[in-house]
Structure 1
Amino acid sequence: MFSHVMVGVSDFPRALAFYTPLMDLLGVRLRFQEDDVPWIGWESSPDPRPLFIVGKPFNGAPHQPGNGHMVAFQAATRSQVDQAHALAMAHGGVSEGEPGLRPHYHAHYYGAYFRDPDGNKLCVACHRAE
């Protein structure tokens, strides 16, 4: 369905310090990094798309997080959701919802919500029974 999703940031080195360990934890493979642009992209597996890209806005204007926008990453286990939330907090993230079941979505939805250091809202969710 998606070709790629891009999240704008204001401080690229800070974004790298936040997103790199998160993508590593989730097992998402690095596809490219161009510090001079600056942007970085991770690819899905086994296919090369969709891509998740983090970088400075292309138009050169300052980054501004949107209200109502969120990117959700799929985790393989509930433990991975817990780890991702803790990792995000350790790297400058702000919690928007502790890890836990959210049965109003479905019986096995286990998710955590947080914002990156630029205010972009993210989620990590596991859809499997424990």
Structure 2
Amino acid sequence: MIAYVTVGADDIPQAMRFYAAFLPTLGYGLTQGPEGLSYTLPVAAGQTPVLPDFYVKPTYDGKPASAGNGAMVAFEARNQSQVRVLHAAALAAGGSNEGAPGFRASYGPHFYVGYLRDPQGNKIALFSNDTTEPGRDG
């Protein structure tokens, strides 16, 4: 099980604007401290935490943050409409487009995805795989 994912950022306020454009809508709450941003899903009293957590932090070694080649973090949206809305919001909040929301021939018929880069260059996917919605072939 994946417990958490961390991406580096040199400009924490800029990163916070970007991630605030979609993570709260997906249920993530933010805790901010000197170590960066911590996004977690709510936990009811007496329940086990819902994972994974997502962290945006300055680099440990103090060198500039960089995006991993081939690395990507994917967040699941409720439906195709939410993918489109959140993709647009993230672009407006300083992200760059890496692939407009839509179906991809190499994925399943209901896998609907939009790709972004955060301001630091980390690749982010927003997707829905809702089989109750129209698929690629229908």
* TM value normalised by structure 1: 0.90
Deviation per CA, 1:39-68: give whole Å up to 9, x if none.
Answer: 111123552432100111122111011110
- Contact 1:103 / 1:109 at 8 angstroms: preserved in 2? no
Alignment map for 1:51-62 (pairs within 5 Å): 51-62=53-64
Aligned match of 2:13: 13
- Contact 1:25 / 1:80 at 8 angstroms: preserved in 2? no
User: Where has structure 1 moved over 6 Å in runs of 4 or more?
Assistant: none
Deviation per CA, 1:3-40: give whole Å up to 9, x if none.
Answer: 1000101101101111122111222223x210x22x11
Structure 2: gaps of 5 or more residues: 44-48, 134-138
Q: Post-superposition shift, 1:127?
A: 0.8
* TM value normalised by structure 2: 0.85
Secondary structure of 1:22's counterpart equals: coil
Task: Give percent identity, aligned residues only.
Answer: 40
In terms of mean alpha carbon deviation, does 5-14 or 18-27 score higher?
18-27
Cα distance between partner residues in 2 of 1:15 and 1:109? 27
Structure 1: gaps of 5 or more residues: none
Aligned match of 2:22: 22
Cα distance between partner residues in 2 of 1:65 and 1:77? 28
Cα distance between partner residues in 1 of 2:18 and 2:79? 21
Aligned match of 1:75: 77
Match of 1:41 among 14, 17, 38: 38
Alignment length (residue pairs): 127
Alignment map for 1:102-121 (pairs within 5 Å): 102-121=104-123
Q: Post-superposition shift, 1:125?
A: 0.5
TM-align CA RMSD = 1.4
